[in-house]
């Protein structure tokens, strides 16, 4: 895997940032999480006057070999059907990108369908879906490295447009399965506690999913040397590993990284296992409705901004949270302070 140069944000200016926030014409601490967000964005950009120019959203698509084991209520053809739907502007991700002014890129990293001629889809296909990790690694070392590089290149393309904030979403039937396995492995949590209904499995379906994933984990432990990289490669989907590459490259480039729901939180955890400093650049935007997401957020000590019961994926929760982050930046840039407002500082 390529090496990244990710440095923790420079906290040396934190006191100066806090002084500016405290001197705005409001009671100290009265804007709560907005003040925390303003601090984080200022530290990421190393400035007292942060900006959120040209926000970009990467929608990454890929299929999973484990879907063949009946672990999802949705068949795999839904992945490519939705990818085409996104090009017509008909998805939740399209609506929220339009609403909040995000530049949307729809990327085929590993969909099991030929989308190369579909206008509006960027072709970065590694393979037509991963292999079935019940029996073997989802991807080879070479595929893993190429997929990380895809994520990096996509971020570099956004930076060339002037992007300062990047949002990540996914489309991949059955991708709650690898997410649950990463949650169990990286969080040292019993796998059964990490497995949920995904897009809508009933109770017998969830039990079947647990049995399949437990068998896959057993096979992994018996055949692979345990390591963070091996766990990521063995279970991950192409869209998920590309997201990890994108998160790491975005942190390296000093971008604000908006982390969506269950799947993207799993990717964020995997990324921070490889490079812990990457978390300084991440804003965890919401706690979704998938079983165990709260526990997953607890693994990295994240405080999500929203809890709307979302479980759509696509990055929709992160997009919904963006106005809150925008408000935090506007607060530190646009509010008067006590001197300019000619108000007595009363604390």
Q: Does residue 251 surpass a pLDDT of 70?
A: yes
pLDDT confidence bin for 311, thresholds 50/70/90: confident
Do 145 and 37 fall within a single domain?
no
Q: Which of 33-47, 164-178, 199-213, 234-248 has the lowest mean pLDDT?
A: 199-213
Two tokens at 178?
Answer: 């690898």
Closest by CA position to 19, among listed 41, 48, 62: 48
Q: Is the pLDDT of residue 115 over 70?
A: yes
- Does residue 119 register a pLDDT over 80? yes
CATH number of the domain that 88 lies in? 3.40.50.10210
Do 43 and 192 sit in the same domain of this protein? Answer: no
Q: How confident is the model at residue 255 (pLDDT cuts 50, 70, 90)?
A: very high
What is the average pLDDT across 310-337?
94
Whether residue 300 is found in the same domain as residue 336: no
- How many Cα atoms within 13 Å fall on the side-chain side of residue 328? 22
pLDDT of residue 205: 84
Does 1 fall in a domain?
no
Of the candidates 35, 170, 239, 314, the residue annotated as catalytic is 314
Q: CA-to-CA distance for 278 and 127, rounded, in angstroms? A: 28
267 versus 203: the higher-pLDDT residue is: 267
Indicate the number of domains in the chain: 2
- We report the CATH number of the domain holding residue 33 as 1.10.1610.10
In a domain? residue 3:
no
Band the pLDDT of 278: cuts 50, 70, 90. Answer: very high
pTM (predicted TM-score): 0.95
Sheet strand arrangement including 282-284: 121-123, 103-110, 56-62, 165-171, 256-259, 282-284
pLDDT of residue 291: 63
Average pLDDT over residues 210-230: 96
261 Ramachandran zone, left/alpha/beta (phi>0; psi -120 to 50): beta
Report, as an integer, the average pLDDT of 308-318.
89
Burial 171-200 (b: 16+ CB within 10 A, else e): bbbbbbbbbbbbbbbbbebebeebbbbbbe
Say if residue 159 is in the same domain as residue 100: yes
Residue 230's pLDDT is: 98
Helix (H) or strand (E) holding 92: helix 92-100
pLDDT value, residue 341? 66
10 Å Cβ neighbour count for 160? 8
Higher pLDDT, 56 or 309: 56
Scan for tokens 């990295």, then name that residue: 300
Place of tokens 């039937």: 173
299 within domain boundaries:
yes
DSSP SS3 for 290: coil
Owning domain of residue 134: 56-324
Same domain? For 25 and 61 the reply is no
Residue 280 inside a domain? The answer is: yes
Structure tokens at 227: 């390591």
Question: Which residue is associated with the tokens 């060339």?
Answer: 160
269 and 337 in one domain? Answer: no
Is 222 a known active-site residue?
Answer: no
Asked if 231 and 91 sit in the same domain, the reply is yes
Lowest mean pLDDT among 113-127, 145-159, 190-204, 309-323: 190-204
Do 44 and 61 lie in one domain? The reply is no
Q: What percent of the chain has pLDDT over 90?
A: 87
Residues 156 and 30 in one domain: no
Of the pLDDT bands very low, low, confident and very high (cuts 50, 70, 90), residue 347 is: low
Domain co-membership, 237 together with 163: yes
24 and 110, same domain (yes or no) = no
Q: Would residue 143 count as lying in a domain?
A: yes
241 domain-assigned? yes
35 with 64, same domain: the answer is no
Q: Model confidence at 97, in pLDDT bands (50, 70, 90)?
A: very high
């Amino acid at each position: 895997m390529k090496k990244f140069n990710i440095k923790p944000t420079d906290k040396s200016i934190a006191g100066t940032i806090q002084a500016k926030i405290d001197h705005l014409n409001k009671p100290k601490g009265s804007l709560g999480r907005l003040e925390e967000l303003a601090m984080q964005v200022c530290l990421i950009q190393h400035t007292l006057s942060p900006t959120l120019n040209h926000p970009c959203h990467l929608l990454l698509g890929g299929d999973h070999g484990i879907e063949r084991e009946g672990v999802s209520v949705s068949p795999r053809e839904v992945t490519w059907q939705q990818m085409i739907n996104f090009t017509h502007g008909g998805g939740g991700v399209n609506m929220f990108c339009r609403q909040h002014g995000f530049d949307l890129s729809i990327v085929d990293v590993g969909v099991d369908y030929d989308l190369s001629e579909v206008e509006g889809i960027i072709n970065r296909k590694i393979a037509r879906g991963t292999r079935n990790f019940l029996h073997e690694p989802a991807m080879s070392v070479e595929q893993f490295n190429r997929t990380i590089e895809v994520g990096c290149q996509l971020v570099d393309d956004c930076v060339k447009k002037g992007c300062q904030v990047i949002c990540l979403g996914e489309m991949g039937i059955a991708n709650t399965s690898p997410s649950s396995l990463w949650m169990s492995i990286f969080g040292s949590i019993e796998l059964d506690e990490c497995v949920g209904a995904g897009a809508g499995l009933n109770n017998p379906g969830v039990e079947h999913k647990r049995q399949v994933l437990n068998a896959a984990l057993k096979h992994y432990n018996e055949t692979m040397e345990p390591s963070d990289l091996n766990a990521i490669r063995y279970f991950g989907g192409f869209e998920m590993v590309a997201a990890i590459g994108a998160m790491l490259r975005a942190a390296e480039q000093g971008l604000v990284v908006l982390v969506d729901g269950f799947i993207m939180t799993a990717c964020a955890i995997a990324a921070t296992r490889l490079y812990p400093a990457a978390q300084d650049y991440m804003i965890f935007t919401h706690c979704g409705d998938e079983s165990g997401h709260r526990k997953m957020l607890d693994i990295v000590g994240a405080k999500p901004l929203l809890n709307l019961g979302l479980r759509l994926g696509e990055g929709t929760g992160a997009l919904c949270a963006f106005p809150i982050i925008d408000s935090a930046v506007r607060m530190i840039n646009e509010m008067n302070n006590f001197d300019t407002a000619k108000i007595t500082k009363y604390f």
